[in-house]
Structure 1
């Protein structure tokens, strides 16, 4: 058993969440019971994830994509109202970390991608950022664009979309999980051979060709399911409480 406020304080300090300018609040978004015996983590605070937290008697739902995003309507009604009502009625806390959980050099989504792809010599995609949201890494051995696509599909379990450039070999790679397709311009500035993110836009096809950077869309969900699991494991080790992961395979 652990205290909710102590968990949040530890997470905030570990992730340095106060140092990020984000699109949604990081940390405690909905307060439930103060005594936490079990945490369920998921990528997104969907109704399925909430139902899983309820059925598994979790006291806290830890997610990467929570609520109260900038530009969202204020009224708590409809789909979002139903979700929030279920959390409150079952006294379950909702805790979300967005950019801090992308960026963290050990627990973050980008760190997990680097580990999965066995990238070396990690550096910032944008050297001006205090806490880089995107990174650059190097393959141990260069690959052809086609070999790299197959490698990504195998390691990330997602049918990778490849938008081709002219480079015949891939060694230096920029990457940022989720919906960071527009960071391909930063990758071009850093002379990367390829750039990896989760989603893809119509314009990305032309940008990959004209910037001469191979683009690989590896799935928003597929690239961001690791951070919450790493954070949940770290919380479990810090506070000696049970954690589990809810997987709802999102094809986007």
Structure 2
């Protein structure tokens, strides 16, 4: 077992929480019991994840998407009340880390997605240095956007939305998980031939056509499945905790 406050302090230092301007609070969002022996990690603090964590005997839950976001009015009603009530009834702590969990150089969503896809970053770009960029994968043939899309589909078990650009050979690939479609222009400025993220909005189709740089929307959840379990495994090893990653299916 380990004290909850030790986990909170360790994660604050590990993920450099104070460095980020974020959309919600990072760290302990719901306070549970003082000591933690069993940890569950997941992508989002949904009711399904909370109920699965209760069934698994969790003392704490670690997620990327927490409960509280900028712009909420603060009332505990409806779905938010149900989630908080479950956590309090079972004395389970909820830890949530948004941008800090995206950015960590080894355990974060971007680093772990790169590992899944065989991409290694050699530079950062974009606001708060959240974007990763590196050389395209090396294979027996030259990679283009369609080859990359097929590779992504095979590795993530999800076919991306592909805007192939001008079909150029890929030398530099940039990526930023989740809803980072707004980083596309920064990726282009950083020298990318292709950019991968989770979501697509209306402007990216035009930008891809007009610049020739490929854009792949690979799924918000699909690209952010890897950071929380990596941090959970780190905590398990560091503190001697029992740890389980619980996948809650999400088509996003």
Please tell me whether residue 139 in structure 1 is matched to residue 136 in structure 2: yes
Please tell me whether residue 150 in structure 1 is matched to residue 155 in structure 2: no
CA distance in 1, matches of 2:231, 2:123: 22
- Asked if 1 retains the 8 angstrom alpha-carbon contact of 2:174 and 2:196, the reply is yes
Quote the residue 1:100 is aligned against. 100
Quote the residue 1:78 is aligned against. 78
CA distance in 1, matches of 2:150, 2:196: 13
SS of the aligned residue for 1:18 comes to helix
**Length, aligned pairs only:** 249
Quote the residue 1:249 is aligned against. 249
CA distance in 1, matches of 2:34, 2:149: 46
CA distance in 1, matches of 2:168, 2:97: 38
Please tell me whether residue 123 in structure 1 is matched to residue 123 in structure 2: yes
SS of the aligned residue for 1:205 comes to helix
Please tell me whether residue 8 in structure 1 is matched to residue 5 in structure 2: no
Where does the alignment leave 5 or more consecutive residues of structure 2 unmatched? none
Deviations 1:188-237 (A, max 9, x none): 11221000001111222112112321000111111101100110000001
Deviations 1:140-173 (A, max 9, x none): 3340221111011111221111012114212211
TM-score, length-scaled by structure 2: 0.95
When the two chains are superposed, the root-mean-square deviation of aligned CA atoms in Å is: 1.3
TM-score, length-scaled by structure 1: 0.95
SS of the aligned residue for 2:155 comes to helix
Where does the alignment leave 5 or more consecutive residues of structure 1 unmatched? none
